[in-house]
């Protein structure tokens, strides 16, 4: 069974600085998808970034980028030029490449990020 | 944030009450999901519906009863809940149920407190 581990329950960063959130996962599959979701306080969970395992290139979305290390089963999220609005819970998730139960998303416990002015 | 809506946003109920949570998606998706989010725990998948048919019941107690009358609406009927059922209940939808190929979009959640 797949597992997702986020080893940093809480982190903080100064505004305008860079922070990296860690995520490791375990799977025997060769093709899959990885996600980072952001859940601001009392607000909706939204997708930050998505990575397809068979793509070598790391995904980027504006100030958000990932460091995907397939062999190490590591999927970290880097936030550059941190802003106060980045304060949120960040969840790493694994999604299989197949439909049905095998493909359901598996989430980590989350990392609470605080951006300080 | 209007793609997936949930009502009510907050609910307080006694253990003998019966209540329902509602989820509606405006994205034209075929799959809908119920998750339970408790503090310091990963999101727990409860139920999945694809094309109105239940495809997943993740060993959820029978005091939670889902209903999906059409692809746009999903309900979670609650009765005789326990205090440990207090949590944030999230609804999500995706184009289909094809694992990571279909990105899931979440609603704002219903914060449930069982007294």
Are B55 and A100 within 8 A, CB to CB? yes
**Under an 8 A CB cutoff, do A95 and B48 touch?**
no
Q: Report the Cα–Cα distance between both ends of chain B, in Å, rounded.
A: 30
Q: Which of A1, A34, A44 to mutate to probe the B interface, most B CBs <10 Å?
A: A44
Q: Which of B25, B36, B97, B100 to mutate to test the interface with A (most CBs of A within 10 A)?
A: B100
Q: d(Cα B72, Cα A21) in Å, to the nearest integer?
A: 35
CA distances in angstroms from A26 to A20, A76, A94, B11, B20, listed in the order given: 20, 14, 9, 37, 36
Per residue in B90-105, pLDDT (tens digit) is: 999 999 888 888 899 9
Q: Do A47 and B108 make contact, defined as CB atoms within 8 angstroms?
A: no
- Per-residue pLDDT, A56: 83
Please write the tens of the pLDDT for every residue from A95-108: 988 776 667 899 99
Position B1 pLDDT exceeds 90: no
Alpha-carbon Rg for chain A in angstroms: 14
Q: Give chain A's mean pLDDT.
A: 93
């Amino acid at each position: 069974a797949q597992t997702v581990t986020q080893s940093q329950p809480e982190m903080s960063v100064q505004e305008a600085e860079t922070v990296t959130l860690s995520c490791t996962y375990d799977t025997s599959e060769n093709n899959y998808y990885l996600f980072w979701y952001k859940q601001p306080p009392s607000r909706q969970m939204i997708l930050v970034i998505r990575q397809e395992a068979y793509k070598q290139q790391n995904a980027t979305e504006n100030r958000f980028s990932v460091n995907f290390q397939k062999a190490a089963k590591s999927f970290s999220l880097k936030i550059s030029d941190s802003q106060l609005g980045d304060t949120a819970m960040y969840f790493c998730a694994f999604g299989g490449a197949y439909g049905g139960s095998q493909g359901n998303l598996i989430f980590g416990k989350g990392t609470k990020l605080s951006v300080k002015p | 944030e209007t793609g997936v809506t949930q009502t009510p946003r907050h609910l307080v109920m006694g253990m003998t009450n019966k209540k329902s949570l509602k989820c509606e998606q405006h994205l034209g998706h075929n799959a809908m999901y119920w998750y339970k989010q408790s503090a310091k725990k990963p999101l727990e998948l409860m139920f999945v519906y694809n094309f109105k048919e239940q495809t997943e019941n993740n060993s959820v107690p029978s005091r939670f009863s889902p209903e999906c009358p059409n692809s746009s609406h999903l309900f979670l009927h609650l009765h005789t809940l326990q205090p440990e059922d207090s949590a944030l209940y999230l609804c999500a939808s995706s184009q289909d149920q094809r694992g990571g190929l279909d990105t899931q979009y979440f609603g704002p959640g219903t914060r449930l407190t069982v007294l």
